[in-house]
Chain A
Amino acid sequence: MLLPRPRGPLSARLRRLLLDGVEEIDDLETATEGHASSVPPDSVLHDEDLQLSLWMIYELSFRGFDDVDDRWEWAPEIAGLRTVLERPFEQWLRDVTEGWVSRTLAVEGDVADKIFALTDGFDEGPDLSRFIRKEATPDHVRDFLRQRSIYHLKESDPHTFVIPRLTGPAKAHLVELQYDEYGGGRPGFLHHELFAVTLREAGLDDAYGAYIEEADGPTLAATNAMSLLCLHRRLRGVAMGHLAAFEATSSIPCRRIAAGLRRTGFSDDAARYYDEHVEADAVHEQLAAREICGTLVDSGDVSVRDVVFGAAACLVLDRYQSESLMARWDGAHTPDQLEAAR
Chain B
Amino acid sequence: MSGSLGRPRPEVVLCPGGPALIRSDVPAVDVVVTDAQQTVDRPVVAFCRCGRTGREPWCDGTHKLARGAGAPRKLPRSDR
The main secondary structure of chain A at its interface with chain B is helix
Are the CB atoms of A282 and B42 closer together than 8 Å? no
Q: List residues of chain A with CB within 8 A of the CB of B72.
A: 113, 116-117, 119-121
Evaluate whether A116 and B19 lie within 8 angstroms (CB atoms) in the complex, with A176-B44, A278-B55, A282-B60 already known.
no
A232-290 residues at the B interface, CB under 8 angstroms? 250-252, 255, 278-283, 285-287, 290
Do B43 and A290 touch (CB < 8 A)?
no
CB 8 Å contact bits of B51-75 with A (1 = contact, 0 = none) = 0001100111110110000011111
Stretch at the interface among A32-40, A100-108, A135-143, A191-199: A100-108
Nearest Cβ on chain B to A163's Cβ, whole angstroms: 15
Contact partner of A283 (CB less than 8 A), chosen from B46, B65, B71, is B46
- Size range of the chain B interface in the assembly: 20 to 34
Residues on the A chain within 8 Å of B35, using CB: none
Verify A286–B75 contact, CB threshold 8 A: no
Contact between A282 and B58, CB atoms less than 8 A apart? yes
Q: Which residues of A contact B13 (CB under 8 A)?
A: 286, 290-291
Judge whether A184 and B74 touch: CB under 8 Å: no
For A104, A106, A286, which residue has the most chain B Cβ atoms within 10 angstroms?
A: A286
A283 touching B64 in the complex, CB below 8 Å, given contacts A103-B78, A104-B75, A255-B54: no
- Is the C-beta of A203 less than 8 angstroms from some C-beta in chain B? no
**Complexed CA–CA distance, A99 and B74 (Å):** 15
Chain B residues lying within 8 Å of A251, measured Cβ to Cβ, are 60-61
Task: For the complex formed, measure the closest distance between the CB of A235 and the CB atoms of chain B, giving whole angstroms.
Answer: 24
16 A-B contacts, Cβ less than 8 Å apart?
A99-B78, A99-B79, A106-B76, A118-B75, A120-B71, A176-B43, A179-B43, A250-B61, A252-B60, A278-B61, A282-B46, A282-B58, A282-B59, A282-B61, A287-B21, A290-B15
State the B residues within 8 Å of A (CB). Answer: 13, 15, 17-19, 21, 41-46, 54-55, 58-62, 64-65, 71-80
Residues of A within 8 A of B (CB): 99, 103-104, 106-109, 113-114, 116-121, 176, 179-180, 184, 250-252, 255, 278-283, 285-287, 290-291
